[in-house]
Amino acid sequence: MNFKLELERHYPYSITDVWEGITTNEGISDWLLDSNNFKAEVGHRFDLTCVNDDGNLDVYRCQVLEIDPPTRMLWSWVLSGKESEGLTEVEFRLKSTDTGTTVTLIHRGDRDKATIDRFKSGWPYKLDRLAETVAKRAKSKQ
């Protein structure tokens, strides 16, 4: 089933702070999934990992497909073991506003309904966490 999730959030922080939150291992690990080999370079492959509810390791195999600092980044995204289902794409769009930064997250691809439902419930939570990550980064710079 093809899907396209699009979520928008506004954060009262600068576009630089938000960009750092999504393009550093420290930032990504704080709000999304554990990351230790991310690089903001086109073609770079990286792994996002977490210990799932069963106590096993989930590995999301990702690649930076397109990047245009600090306004746009596109990743491919697939859970290890699900490669046969094809890649999905995660896109971040950042726009500077008078009061901060608007982030649009788009996740698209082809998955079964249960998986899509998990994305639907997961991303809003993750984007709330991103707000906290960015807040912490902004505060640490003051």
Partner 1 sequence: MADIHFPNEYGAYRKARKALLQSEKELRAQIERVAKERRKLPKGGEIKEDYVFEEWVDGKRTKTKLSELFKNDDKSLFIYSFMYSDDMEAACPMCTSILDGLEGQVPHIEQNISTAVVAKTDIDTLAKFGADRGWSNLRLLSSKHNTYNTDYFGEKGGNQVTTANVFVKDGDTIRHFWNSELTYEPMMEGGHMRHLDLIWPMWNLLDMTPQGRGDFFPSLRY
Tell the smallest beta-carbon distance from residue 48 to partner 1 (Å): 7
Tell the smallest beta-carbon distance from residue 60 to partner 1 (Å): 10
SS3 for 38-50 is CCCCCCCEEEEEE
Residues 77, 48: Cα–Cα separation, whole Å: 9
In which residue are the tokens 């639907």 written? 120
Instruction: Evaluate whether 102 touches 94 at the Cβ level (below 8 Å).
Output: yes
Nearer to partner 1, 14 or 25 (CB): 25
Tell the smallest beta-carbon distance from residue 30 to partner 1 (Å): 11
Instruction: Evaluate whether 91 touches 105 at the Cβ level (below 8 Å).
Output: yes
Q: Which residues bind partner 1 (CB under 8 A)?
A: 25, 29, 33-37, 47-51, 57-59
Tell the smallest beta-carbon distance from residue 59 to partner 1 (Å): 6
Nearer to partner 1, 36 or 99 (CB): 36
Q: What is the dihedral of CA 4, 120, 91, 6, to 10 degrees?
A: 60
Nearer to partner 1, 15 or 90 (CB): 90
